[in-house]
Every structure is written in structure tokens, then in C-alpha cells.
Amino acid sequence: MGQFKGYTEAKALDRYMNKYSLNGTNLIRSRGIQHNCWREWSLGDRPQPGDLYGLLELNKHDRKRDGFCHVGVIQESSGDVWKTMDLGAKSGFDGAKDSVRPYNANTGELWGEDNQGGGYRVLAGWVDVDAYLKIG
């Protein structure tokens, strides 16, 4: 059986993506942990611009085990209102959108998606993008 041009390159890319990709809501935590770039929320610690954050499902509180309802990208995380960049923030299928989210520094909760009922959600943590880009 013959091979088409680029077959080996496509297989190598597939192996790379299967190992390093963060694509998938809950993969940011598991892959972040695997590659030592996951930062679980702790009092006083904040993500930096470009970091990928994960919010737990409504009424969930276990930052190590509970599933995510949303992931996005941090633009600004100072003060009590954060700026984020999010996909699917309205209908679930719309494109990238700038968002502003109230943040409770005492509890580590960030305002959730309006299309999921809004309200504060537990910020499980984030992928430190600077550390992530050094892997592989």
C-alpha cells in the first residue's frame, strides 16, 4: 500500500497533539498537571495574561476532581473585575468574545457564563502558559 505525501508528518503532528493539546474542557487540568504547568487556585495567587482558566460546574467545589463548565483566556486579573477572552460565551457556538467577570478574591470565585445561568463559579485554577510553552 502506498503512502501519500505528508503521511509521516501528519502522524507526527497527530502524536504531538494527542500528547500536548489542551483542546477539551477538562484537559487543561489533567494535561496541565501532567506537564507541571497547572496552578490550582490559592488565596492571593492570580493568573497572568494569556493563562487558560477553568471554572467548575455550578455548585461544585472540589478543585482537584470536579468537572469544568467553562474555560477561557485571562486578559487582566487585577482587582475585583477580571477581563477574559472566551468562546461560546453566549449561544455556546459563537466566536471569541471579550468578557468582564466579577471576581471574589476571598473565595476564589469568578462570575460564570450567562448562558449557563451566570452566578459565581469556583475558579479551579489555570494553565501557566509561560510554563506550558516550554514543554515539548
Give 39-85 pLDDT, tens digit per residue.
Answer: 999 999 999 999 999 999 999 999 999 999 999 999 999 999 999 99
Mean pLDDT value across the chain: 87
Task: Determine what percent of the chain is predicted with pLDDT higher than 90.
Answer: 60
Counting DSSP H helices and E strands in the chain, the numbers are 3, 7
Other CB atoms within 10 Å distance of the CB of residue 25 = 14
Q: What pTM was computed for the model?
A: 0.84
pLDDT band at 1 (very low <50, low <70, confident <90, very high): very low
Return the amino acid letter for 30. S
Give the integer Cα–Cα distance in Å for 4 and 7. Answer: 6
